[in-house]
Structure 1
Amino acid sequence: MAISSKTLRSVAGTGVEAQALAARMVTLQADAGLTIAMRMPILMKGALGDSHGQHEAAKALTEKVSAVMESGFAAGQAAAMFWWGLALNPLAPLDFTEAAAKVANSTLEPFSKRTSANAARLTARKR
């Protein structure tokens, strides 16, 4: 049985999205670990009354809430774009795997952006 060129393009597109998602997850995990390690002493000082530590805790909370909100909107938008594309072109080949990878990738974007910025900011402070 021969494989069509549409199938090959679909598999290639899914592979690219899956690779991007895997790379984002690895980078996110590394940056999150570094951020946690660098933030813990600051947060401990904040628990003992240090204003800088308390400011860092408030900043962390605010960032997490805004990242969750932004992530929810991004996931909804990516899913809506898939369904609108399907509704406007019902004869197009479906690739749910690629669409799911795009939704996951767009969902992680706000967290990835903030985590890498925090890791860079907190490691630069120590130098």
Structure 2
Amino acid sequence: MPRSRKSTGSALATGAEAQALAARLMSMQADAGLTIAMRMPLLMKGAFGDSRGQREATKAVMEKASAVFESSLAAMQATTAFWWGLALHPPGQFDLATAAVKVADSTLEPFARRTRANAARLSGYRR
């Protein structure tokens, strides 16, 4: 049975979105590694009473808590949109793979934004 042009285009778009998501993950991993490497000396100083290191530790914990909260809200919103799209579209007209990539992308966005900003701040490099 021949495939339609629409499904081929959709598959290519989904592949491109998945590839962009994978690239974002790799970039996020690199930024997270840089952030950890740059933060460790500050955190060690903070463990011995340095106020800058203690502020950095507090900032790290607060950023993670806010990122988890923001990410869970974004995931909930994207998942709701996914289920509504699935319920309101006839079978075969809803692209599950694209919707799943959008859910994953919106869930990772708060973490990606913070790791990018932290890597730039701690290394002194502005993007």
- State TM-score, norm by structure 1: 0.91
Compute the displacement of 1:94 (Å): 2.7
CA distance, structure 2, for counterparts of residue 23 and residue 46 of structure 1 = 34
Compute the displacement of 1:118 (Å): 0.2
- State TM-score, norm by structure 2: 0.91
Alpha-carbon displacement from aligned partner over 1:37-65 (angstroms, at most 9, x marks no partner): 00000000000000000000000000000
CA distance, structure 2, for counterparts of residue 6 and residue 76 of structure 1 = 29
Residue identity over aligned pairs, in percent, reads 64
Residue of structure 1 in register with 2:80 after alignment: 80
Any idea what SS the aligned residue of 2:124 has? helix
CA distance, structure 2, for counterparts of residue 31 and residue 108 of structure 1 = 14
Compute the displacement of 1:5 (Å): 1.4
CA RMSD of aligned residues (A): 1.5
Residue of structure 2 in register with 1:114 after alignment: 114
Any idea what SS the aligned residue of 2:90 has? coil
CA distance, structure 2, for counterparts of residue 74 and residue 88 of structure 1 = 21
CA distance, structure 1, for counterparts of residue 79 and residue 12 of structure 2 = 20
Task: For structure 2, list consecutive stretches of 5 or more residues without a partner in the other structure.
Answer: none
Residue of structure 2 in register with 1:34 after alignment: 34
Q: Contact between 1:86 and 1:92, CA under 8 Å: does it hold in 2?
A: no
Residue of structure 2 in register with 1:24 after alignment: 24
Compute the displacement of 1:107 (Å): 0.7
CA distance, structure 1, for counterparts of residue 99 and residue 85 of structure 2 = 11
Residue of structure 2 in register with 1:43 after alignment: 43
TM alignment of 1:93-108, pairs within 5 A = 93-108=93-108
